[in-house]
């Protein structure tokens, strides 16, 4: 076995050396994320001591997603159910057209704070667009419900948001 591996390794080395002239170097990698990645470690070593509301366990959030019968022409496929985050893919004719998500923003102050300037409302909850491809509503000052799509416009995304059980979510 060891001899076999050595033989293979030798063969590979020979192949690489023989092919040096044909080598193509990879595109240079960006250093854009290095600082952010290093900062993550720092945060983890000394977490902030601020008390947080109890975590939302897996299994809680999916039940507030739109019911299948309310999504005429679409098919919904749940794709994540984790602590504080649930997600579903929305498909039409077998193609993914949107991602639906509910995220607990309790520990993400900036995620909640952006709604301070929200001018619109949906069923009384602050509503806004994020970037070009998201429409989002904040429920209970804590849960961010989003529809993200590169093909559906804001009105269509808002229409899907209205199918979530936002009142039920308010009661969690």
Partner 1 sequence: MSESLHAVLEGLPQSSLTTHVLGALDWIVPGEWTNITLFEAMIKDVTGETDEALIQQVGERALQLYADESTGYQRAVQVYRGIDSASTVAGAAAMANLAGQRFEILSFLTDVTPRADTTQAIDAGIKFAGELVGFTLCNGLPGDSVGDFVASLANYGKEERMRLAAWLAIDCVLPLGPDFVTKVLEALDGPLESIQENRVFEFVSEHLPGGIAEQRDTIKKNVEESRGHLEGMVSQHGITQETVLAKVKEYVAIADDKLDVAAAALDLGTNTFEHTGIQTVARRVITRAYGEI
Interface ranges with partner 1 (CB under 8 A): 4-5, 7-9, 11-16, 19, 22-24, 26-27, 29-30, 32-33, 36-37, 39-41, 43-44, 58, 77, 79-83, 85, 87, 89, 91, 96, 99, 101, 103, 105, 108, 110-111, 130-134, 144, 146, 148, 150
Q: How many angstroms separate the CA atoms of 90 and 161, rounded? A: 12
> What backbone torsions phi and psi does residue 46 show, to the nearest 5 degrees?
-130, 80
Q: Based on CB atoms, which residue is closest to partner 1, 20 or 72?
A: 20
CA proximity to 146, closest of 116, 108, 104:
104
Q: How far is the CB of 17 from partner 1 (least distance, A)?
A: 10
Q: How far is the CB of 39 from partner 1 (least distance, A)?
A: 8
């Amino acid at each position: 076995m060891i001899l076999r591996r050595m033989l293979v390794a030798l063969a590979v080395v020979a192949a690489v050396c023989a092919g040096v002239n044909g080598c193509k170097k990879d595109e240079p990698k960006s250093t854009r994320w290095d600082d952010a990645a290093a900062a993550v470690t720092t945060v983890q070593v000394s977490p902030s001591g601020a008390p947080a509301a109890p975590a939302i366990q897996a299994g809680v959030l999916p039940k507030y997603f739109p019911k299948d019968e309310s999504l005429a022409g679409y098919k919904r496929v749940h794709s994540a159910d984790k602590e504080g985050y649930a997600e579903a893919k929305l498909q039409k004719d077998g193609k993914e057209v949107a991602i639906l998500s509910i995220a607990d923003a309790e520990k993400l102050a900036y995620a909640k704070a952006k709604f301070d300037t929200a001018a619109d409302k949906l069923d009384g909850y602050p509503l806004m667009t994020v970037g070009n491809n998201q429409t989002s509503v904040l429920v209970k000052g804590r849960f961010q419900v989003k529809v993200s799509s590169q093909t559906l416009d804001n009105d269509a995304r808002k229409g899907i948001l209205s199918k979530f059980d936002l009142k039920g979510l308010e009661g969690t």
